Amino acid sequence: MASPRGPRPRLRTKIDRNSPLPFYVQLRSALEQHIERGGWRPGDRIPGEEELCRMFEVSRTVVRQALNEMAYAGLLARQKGRGTFVAQPKLSSRGLVQSLDGFYKDMADRGLQVVNQVLEQAMLPAEPRVARYLQLEAMAPVIKIVRLRLIEGDPIALVTAFLPYDLCRELMGADLTQQSLYAFLEETCGLTVASGRRRLEAVGANEQEARLLKLPAGSPLVLLESVSYLSDGTPLEYFKGSFRSRFEVEIVGLSGETGEAEWPA
């Protein structure tokens, strides 16, 4: 990032209307470059949506999509009633660690409105892959939850979670549209995630993902797989999600200590 001394660069506000790149991608690029060059510094309040619409001559939908993705990526922080600010940089490698509080709480802590569209919530016999990750007998009952995650109204991720039915039967009747799964597990079932293992893979969006995430088929996504554990090492959740945006991947337990379990073979 540019040095804090000296005059600040001007914000480049030109949108190339002949470019194949969507307007929101061009806008996000311009805002990110302005931050990188030191035009805005950590803690600075950026112009509001109306002002950005006027400066770039684009619609509010374009502005909101660009700002939403930057907030989700951790570049911006929203404060209700105050505005949108350049996020503070991470001070150490520890700052790159994502806790196991869960997606919902992480996004809510950034001031973003999170809504889950629950597409499926059912009990069914565990398929071999799920049974292996959850260390269950073949065909043991599990709860499957499929959710479309929306941030400020924009679809961000399509996620599927499998949990042992015998550990959290109450989950079958839970309304998870505006509630954290992990918070429900802790408050209602007395189950707290203590550690986990995650791995990432770059994939292309299939037809279902493209339709739900409003992307062209084949668009790049980040596939995340995760197994979360209780403090005694019991697997609580097998999770897989397809995400539109980048995010941090090193994880720790709620106590701040890394888990000991290895990724299942």
Digitized pLDDT (tens) for each residue of the chain, 265 residues in all: 444 445 788 898 899 999 998 999 999 999 999 988 889 988 899 999 999 999 999 999 999 999 998 987 788 988 888 899 998 654 333 322 344 555 666 666 656 667 889 999 999 999 999 999 999 998 999 999 999 988 767 788 899 999 999 999 999 999 998 888 988 999 999 999 888 888 888 889 999 999 999 888 888 888 889 999 999 999 999 999 998 855 444 455 554 454 445 556 5
SS3 content of the chain, % helix, strand, coil (to 5): 30, 30, 45
Q: What is the pLDDT of residue 171?
A: 95
Distance between start and end Cα atoms, the chain? 41
Q: Assess contact for 122 and 143: CB atoms under 8 A.
A: yes
Domain 23-86 in this protein, CATH class: mainly alpha
pTM of the model: 0.59
Q: What is the pLDDT of residue 54?
A: 95
Residues in Cβ contact with 33 at an 8 Å cutoff, skipping those fewer than 6 apart: 12
| Residue 120 near residue 146, CB atoms below 8 Å | yes
Helix (H, G, I), strand (E, B) or coil at 42: coil
Domain boundaries, the chain: 23-86, 94-252
Residue 195 in tokens = 């550690």
Other C-beta atoms lying within 10 Å of the C-beta of residue 95: 10
Task: With H, G, I as helix, E, B as strand and everything else as coil, classify residue 53.
Answer: helix
Yes or no: domain 94-252 corresponds to CATH 3.40.50.300: no
Q: CB within 8 A of 36, min separation 6: which ones? A: 1, 2
Q: What is the pLDDT of residue 96?
A: 29
Q: Is 64 helix (H, G, I), strand (E, B) or coil?
A: helix
Residues 235, 240, 241, 247, CA torsion sign? positive
Cβ count within 10 A of residue 125: 13
